Amino acid sequence: MEIVEAENREDILRLVGHISPQAREFVSEAFREQAVSVFHYSRTEEVHGVFCAAENDDCTIAYVSFLKISMNELTFILGLIDATIRTFLEEGDGKELCFNVYGENEEVIAFIRSIGFQSDMEGYHLKYTKTELPTMLPSQLIGSYLIHNNYIQDLVVNPDYQNCGYGGVILVHCVAHMRVNKGIDNVCLRVAKSNRRAKRFYERNHFEELASFAEHTYIPG
């Protein structure tokens, strides 16, 4: 494994964090276990990004996240990805092979799909940014929500109240519940890239984009 200096390691984690908070956590843990391979990392005026892979007992996950990239660098990275994935497949250790990409790196996303990776989900992580506690209305069952840790996993509106603006009411109740009763300040959620209406709804209700992801799993041909 390539030895990565502490300063570069922190920057790599920040880059991977642009894919998702969970990606950053997975790579951070893999760094502690010395289970990260950094195939390419660059931080210059023209290029800022990383191509790496982290593994545990169950899977290997490759990550690409470039905030800035030149055309020459892109061509190099695509070739490096191709060669690296071929090596992984030839070694065939039986682990699941996944590839997660920063959502803005569209050329990389298109390329990995062309070499056998199937899209699992593409979308955004959003974070609630309003500092004041939202005001809740008196108790009335108009819908429900599902939370896991600091993430809102699902939010539904009673059919009798749909298209009446109550989605925002349920969201307010959910955020207030997480903050007041659960002590969670960092309230987040995921939304699919294709669901633009939902993303706009959350953004109107004080959520901002935290990360952008495109998750893939290799499917043998």
Structure-token pair, residue 65? 């996240």
DSSP string covering 12-54? HHHHHHTT-HHHHHHHHHHHHTT-EEEEEEEESSS-EEEEEEE
Are 183 and 147 contacting, i.e. CB atoms less than 8 angstroms apart?
no
Closest CA to 122 of 197, 213, 219, 199: 213
Structure-token pair, residue 71? 């055309």
Domain spanning 130-205: CATH superfamily:
Gcn5-related N-acetyltransferase (GNAT) (3.40.630.30)
| 121 three-state secondary structure | strand
- On the question of a common fold for 6-123+212-218 and 130-205, the answer reads yes
**How many C-beta atoms surround the C-beta of residue 177 within 10 A?**
15
**How many C-beta atoms surround the C-beta of residue 182 within 10 A?**
12
Classify 6-123+212-218 by CATH class.
alpha beta
Specify the pLDDT at position 140: 64
List the domain boundaries for the chain: 6-123+212-218, 130-205
Sign of CA dihedral 174, 179, 182, 187: positive
Tell me the β-bridge partners of 61.
54, 98
pLDDT digits (tens, 9 = 90+) for 62-110: 999 999 999 999 999 999 999 999 998 887 777 899 999 999 999 999 9
Residue given tokens 């059919």 in the structure block: 159
- Mean pLDDT for the chain? 91
Specify the pLDDT at position 149: 96
d(CA 111, CA 93): 23
d(CA 214, CA 28): 19
Confidence of residue 43 (pLDDT cuts 50, 70, 90): very high
Confidence of residue 136 (pLDDT cuts 50, 70, 90): low
Are 192 and 215 contacting, i.e. CB atoms less than 8 angstroms apart?
no
pLDDT at 161 over 70: yes
Tell me the β-bridge partners of 50.
41, 65
Are 48 and 66 contacting, i.e. CB atoms less than 8 angstroms apart?
yes
Specify the pLDDT at position 78: 98
Specify the pLDDT at position 134: 57
Q: What is the pTM of this model?
A: 0.88
Confidence of residue 165 (pLDDT cuts 50, 70, 90): confident
Strands 36-43 and 48-55 come out as antiparallel
d(CA 211, CA 20): 5
Residue given tokens 């990239």 in the structure block: 69
Specify the pLDDT at position 135: 58
d(CA 150, CA 139): 23
**How many C-beta atoms surround the C-beta of residue 152 within 10 A?**
23
